[in-house]
Structure 1
Amino acid sequence: MKITYKSTEPIKIALLAVGGDGGGVLTGWITKLAEDNGYWAQYTYIAGVAQRTGATVYYIELFPLKNLQKNGKLVTPVLSQMPAPQDVDILMATELMEAGRSIQRGFVSKKTTMIFSTNRNLAIREKENAGDGIADGEKIFEMTDKYAKKSLFGNLKLIATKNGSIISSSLFGALAASETLPFKKEDYIKVIESGGKGIKQSVNSFNEAYQYVKDFIAQPKPYNADLQPAKFKEIPEATSSLKLNEVIADIKATIPLEVQDTVWYGVNHLVDFQNLKYAKNYLEKIKDFVKIDSADKEYKLTQQVARYLAIGMAYDDLIFVADEKTRKSRQKEVYQQVGAKEDEIVNTLDYLHPGFEEVTGFMPVKLGKKIVKSEKWRKRYDKYLDKDRRMHSTGFFNFIMLYFMGGLRGWRLKTLRHHEEMENINSWLDRIKQAVTVNYNLAVELANSYRLKKGYGDTYERGHSKFAMINKYAIDNMNTPNIDENVSHIISYALQNHNTAETKNLIDELKA
């Protein structure tokens, strides 16, 4: 359905684009489209902040040249440099949360047609959350239904990627299909074909998005979140490995059906992290909890212990980091991110800053314990080694060094870090076994508390500190009424708040 605009007002378009999405390209296309078809076009933009804390806002105003004639002369219009609240005709966004931010900023009203992609580029605030910090996309659609005239959406980035292009081309196609501008489809395609690289890919992406939106208008589709909670694969009947087949048989014989998929995932995770012997050690620990759990509780405790024990035993150390940086899967991911072909060379620059604890954690237990307590060695480290390092991990020497370090799995079990992690894990499991005799739900929450321990450096220290405080509070007060609910609340609060002191204050309040 075509939209008619007042002859005395410009058509007002706002575009919110994340870095790398081609917002400048799309703005240029819209401007040229208008100018080639008898319109005066003006655009401005305000750059967003780096690292996904905000998008760049492009603002375009289009005015028919025929309405700018006065006494046979062209009169220069006075146009706005920024979108005014409640006064945008077309709002486009290259990412779901940016569509929500546009509503929050007041750009959207009942005169606004929204065209946006449902893909997600997670913001810093979502990534830095210790738990699941991903914003709820459903709320965006509640707001678009309430505030916008019409919403056209879909995973336009996926369409562009499939065609070897970027989202600017698919969003351009969606704009054409919406018929919110007084131009023909052929006019849009001429703009794409008028210059630049990747014309064929851009046109293909344009056409697919155009047809998708046309179908959407005819039969609107519900929103399906692109990011879904991970699901464990079902335990197979057998694999190509005889040794793994023995483990599968052991799991099926000793582990309840409700937990088998989780345990199988944990075994694979730990084989990848260390080796099969290490994974079997994990399996033996899980069997201990099967004995004290029950079917009427749906083996919930065993489920959570299996989940977080696998994570805990696969801690992030220098060997893990080096291994990750030299894996073929990582190279493939980098190539996909930059759009490189297999026969092209991509240089990767990595930023490394191992802390004093990471370095001493790589040492043998006795030596590491001695040095980590030494102020003299800490000062030496701070003076000579405590600095950021930029390393081309694709360079021959650097790659060989990282590859060698990533292969030191046999050494890992002799390090101070491994010794400390196993002490922490065994103490944690003992506390869970102690709690389950008094309060089953409290034992489950203690199992969940290991969610706080992750990463390395300051992230690890904060998480471990919160984890230790919560565990101490739980055991000291396990006979207190509603202690399981209190611990659950503290864990949720700690996951949402970085500051360790805030978690401590909450625990102190609950104690009072």
Structure 2
Amino acid sequence: MNIDTTNHPITLLLCALGGEGGGVLADWLVEVAQRAGHAVQSTSIPGVAQRTGATTYYLEFAPRPPDPAAPTGRRPVFSLYPVPGQVDLLVSSELLETARQVSLGVTSAERSQVISSRARALTTAERMPLGDGRLDSDRLVAVLRQHSREQHLLDMAALTREAGTIVSAVMLGAVAASGVLPFARALYEAAIGTGGRTAEASRRGFAAAYEQVQRQREQGEALRKVIAAAPGVPAPPLLPPELACRFPAAVHPMLALGHARLVEYQDADYASVYADRLERVLAAEREADPHAAQSWATTREMARWLALWMAFDDIVRVADLKLRAARLARIRAEARAGNGDVLKVFDHFKPGIPEIAGLLSAPLAGALQRWDERRQRRGLAPWSFKLTLGTHTLRGALALRTLGAMRSLRPRGQRFAQEQALIEHWLAGVVDLTRRHWASGHEVALCGRLIKGYGSTNERGKAALLHVLDQLARQVPFAGDDERADAIARARQAALADDAGRALDQALVSMGAAPRPLREQPIRFVRRRPGVQAAVQAAAQGHVPGSAAGS
């Protein structure tokens, strides 16, 4: 049999995560090629990735239909696997997966076009750090641009949600608009089909991606330059003029966000306290850096982390967020509920002593906490109760609305006073260190990243920040201020890398500081029920109750 080696095949590599319909996409492309009379070969390569599992689909297409004048028996030669640097089009539904394939060398800067979603499915390693453990998406995009001839980035997850389909239909539209394959748009739409709601949704997703990639191709390099030149965070228009006059322009974007957040969280007076606190940091930074060589970086960072700490989560804020219109709209969109559909939303709560005591005065809160501590010393679990509210019902909505309206009680509560005292302690440390040595004050300001989450996570973060401030910033002697700033930075990075705090304790000891003090933890013994104990003993002996003896 004669082998045709005159026509180089068009190569395409598809990357999809588990459950995204990658096999359906490959079948659609095979059908398109067959409708056009082109020879095609498809190979799936199953694999396991860090998230839900990834499968790649490799396809090769004959660039043109067979020549009727060619001798019979001649057919193209296709490969089962992609050859490094020889892929014409790489299409992926997840940005990190795209970068992973590029890192394997399948693309080349001279030949390959890459179409990728901007969406991310976070890996386990990214979810583990206490701080922001996400990989930098800008660096991933830079890798794509370095190792491909042309790139198209779109939010496939958003297009999929809007169309009510699966991402494979969106990827098909992107492939069709890429111009790599010599097939008309009508052939792709014919492969999807026309009957039923599923086909209609797939055609909507196909059209949305097709138009977006086509628009990107038409705009080309000019559009990418506009996007690259766009400012990262535009100044919000609602910054009060009297506040803008008190701070440099470089601080305005973050200041406006923080001020608006605290007005919404409590009231205008509370936001004024935020501005006054931030002005103290600005005054210290003006002393340390009068010529603004650092572009007021410490004040900008404090504008961010101070606002987040001052807007700490409590039961009032949780109740308020539960009834936000944006949340209910998101739930309806995720459930794909139509205008005539009835959607029921149940919110589950488990408030305990810390949540209740937070809104009480110090004497009442202290008595309640001591009562719960005595219970725990007797081996009982911390007191709490389960509560389920139907947010869609009048009763549930009124209960949440009533609780959310109790923000006037917040400043009188024990937790508010405790949080303000801790904030002032941190703020005083930032101001004092900034005056003495700008870099040291900046590093302590960045320690605001440690304050996140709620419950025990929030408590550990605050304890770590204050310990770093009191030990490294104030007590441990260093050879110079630069060494102190470096030690604070290393301690902060250690705290963010390990939620349990072991890395932080090791870092503190290595720098001559005391480790964090141990905290007592009650030990609770749980008595097994007689039936459960008998079942455990039977299983240990190789017997399962109600069945034949195990071998």
Q: TM-score range by the shorter chain?
A: 0.7 to 0.9
Distance 1:492 1:17, change over 3 A: same
Q: Distance in 2 between matches of 1:397 and 1:31?
A: 55
One-letter code aligned to 2:409: W
* Structure 1 position 334 matched with structure 2 position 331: yes
Structure 2 alignment gaps of length 5 or more:
67-71, 73-77, 514-551
SS in 2 for 1:296: coil
Q: Deviations over 1:329-368 (max 9, x none)?
A: 2212333444545554433454655566445434432233
1:256 is displaced (CA, Å) by: 4.8
Q: Which moved more, 1:485-494 or 1:463-472?
A: 485-494
Residue 140 in structure 1 maps to residue 172 in structure 2? no
Deviation string 1:424-450 (CA, Å, 9 cap, x unpaired) is: 112212223333443233223222222
Report deviation, 1:273: 0.6
Distance 1:459 1:428 in 2: 18
Deviations 1:115-143 (A, max 9, x none): 43342235155455444433233443454
**1:42-100 CA deviation, whole Å, 9 max, x = no partner?**
77685978xx8345425366799x99xxxx9xxxxx997xx678597754211222211
1:405 maps to 403
User: Structure 2: how far apart are the matches of 1:162 and 1:227?
Assistant: 26
Report the TM-score, using the length of structure 1 for normalisation.
0.76
Equivalent residues in 2 for 1:340-419 (5 A)?
Answer: 340-341=337-338, 344-350=341-347, 352=349, 354=351, 357-373=354-370, 374-378=372-376, 383=381, 392-419=390-417
Q: Report the residue type matching 1:119 in the other structure.
A: R
Alignment of 1:77-476 (within 5 A): 86=84, 91-104=90-103, 106=104, 108-109=106-107, 113=112, 115-124=114-123, 125-126=125-126, 129-144=129-144, 151-155=150-154, 157=156, 167-178=167-178, 180-181=180-181, 183-197=183-197, 199-200=199-200, 202-207=202-207, 209-210=209-210, 212-213=212-213, 220-221=220-221, 222=224, 230-236=233-239, 248=240, 250-252=242-244, 254-294=246-286, 295-297=290-292, 299-341=296-338, 344-350=341-347, 352=349, 354=351, 357-373=354-370, 374-378=372-376, 383=381, 392-472=390-470, 473-476=472-475
Q: Is the 8 A contact 1:27 1:58 kept in 2?
A: no
Secondary structure, counterpart of 2:55 in structure 1: strand
Structure with max Cα Rg: 2
Secondary structure at the aligned position of 1:15 is classed as: strand
Distance in 2, Cα, partners of 1:307 & 1:266: 6
Q: Is the 8 A contact 2:47 2:53 kept in 1?
A: yes
Question: What's the counterpart of residue 484 of structure 1?
Answer: 485
- Partners of 1:379 and 1:27 in 2: how far apart? 62
Tell me which amino acid in the other structure corresponds to 2:191.
V
Deviation at 1:270, TM superposition (A): 1.0
How does the TM-score come out when normalised to structure 2? 0.71
Q: Measure the CA separation in 1 of the matches of 2:5 and 2:353.
A: 64
Q: What does the per-residue CA deviation read over 1:470-489, in whole Å, with 9 as the maximum and x for residues that have no partner?
A: 11121214775111232233
Question: CA RMSD for the aligned pairs?
Answer: 4.5
Task: State the one-letter code of the partner of 1:471.
Answer: L
Secondary structure at the counterpart of residue 92 of structure 1: strand
* SS at structure 1 position matched to 2:487: helix
Aligned to 1:244: none
Q: Which runs of 5+ in 1 are unaligned?
A: 73-77, 237-247
Equivalent residue number for residue 523 of structure 2: none
**Between the two proteins, what is the percent identity of the paired residues?**
22
Provide the residue aligned with 1:75 in structure 2: none
Corresponding residue of 2:528: none
The alignment covers a number of residue pairs equal to 483
Alignment of 1:8-23 (within 5 A): 13-17=13-17, 23=22
